[in-house]
Amino acid sequence: MEIFDTHFHYYGESSPLEFCRMISAELAVPPQNSWGAVDRILLLAVGGDYLESCRAREFAQVAPDAWFAAGVHPHQAESYRQEAQDFSSFRGHPRLVAVGELGLDYYYEESPRDVQRSVLEEFLKLALEWNLPAIIHIRDRDGAEDAYADAYDLLRDFAAAGGRFVVHCFAGTPAWAEKFLVLGGYCGVTGMVTFKRAENIREALRVIPDDRLLIETDSPYLAPVPHRGSTNHPGYLILVAAQIAVERGRTVEEIARLTTRNGREFFRLDGEVRP
């Protein structure tokens, strides 16, 4: 079985090859191996600021079957505005397949909202210029939708200009999922789908078509049940696929196959996988 973690964070806690060995070891033990053998895992390391983007590039240059994305997370928008780094150094790298992680986070608001919006708009323009898809983070306070509405306005213009995007770690309502899908967007689902109180995510799965679904860990965050509360990593991705399979009445192999195909197409990998 082949599976694609389309969003994880690498902080240099071990060397890329050691990190990959750990993933393989975890995939081979219960409960991960209960769903069948994973023969190959594809990995997308995502940057949230300049330094993390550099680490993601380092990972993709060394690890097998790995790519990376470079961007500025909304938490880092204010520091980026205060001391902007030159992201042009990433342009054209053979392992660069997306711009991100970008977006709006009105839950913590570690950066002012206007700064978040301006940085998101700047990097969406970069994605168009570089002809790469954008990886979008959206989070709002419980019951609020301002972040979704503001992101939608920017993504509507981005999509109209030919931009492609995925709302990663989707945790909104089915209605918002449908609005982003109409723009041509994809939705990424994480281990949150296994959480008892995440019924909204399971409901959103009912409106996300097979060809717009991506799976991810967003590790080291959001470890799925039964590992919730521990450090997450791509070795737990199979548990995300297993829960989605239950929700959709499919086999784990089917979910792994269709989400891997979607990831390859969305990031335009063109079958490029290292031996």
Tens of pLDDT, residues 147-170 = 999 999 999 999 999 999 999 999
Rounded Cα gap, residues 179 and 81, in angstroms: 30
Instruction: Please report the pLDDT score of residue 27 as a whole number.
Output: 96
Instruction: Please report the pLDDT score of residue 272 as a whole number.
Output: 56
Tens of pLDDT, residues 25-50 = 999 999 999 999 999 999 999 999 99
User: Residue 61's domain is classified under what CATH number?
Assistant: 3.20.20.140
Q: Domain for residue 70, yes or no?
A: yes
Query: Which residues, 6 or more positions from 89, have their beta carbon under 8 angstroms from its beta carbon?
Result: none
Q: Domain for residue 275, yes or no?
A: no
Tens of pLDDT, residues 105-138 = 999 999 999 999 999 999 999 999 999 999 999 9
**Number of neighbours of residue 86 by Cβ within 10 angstroms:** 7
Q: Domain for residue 272, yes or no?
A: no
Token reading at 36: 């069948």
Q: Domain for residue 193, yes or no?
A: yes
Q: Domain for residue 274, yes or no?
A: no
Residue labelled with tokens 């909202």: 113
Q: Is the pLDDT of residue 178 over 70?
A: yes
By residue range, what is the domain housing residue 258?
2-266
Q: Domain for residue 132, yes or no?
A: yes
Instruction: Please report the pLDDT score of residue 217 as a whole number.
Output: 98
Token reading at 189: 């689902």
Domains held by the chain: number: 1
Rounded Cα gap, residues 177 and 164, in angstroms: 15
Q: Domain for residue 90, yes or no?
A: yes
Rounded Cα gap, residues 104 and 119, in angstroms: 9
3-state helix, strand, coil in the chain (%, to 5): 45, 15, 35
Token reading at 239: 């548990």
Exposed / middle / buried, residue 176 (Cβ in 10 Å: 0-12, 13-18, 19+): buried
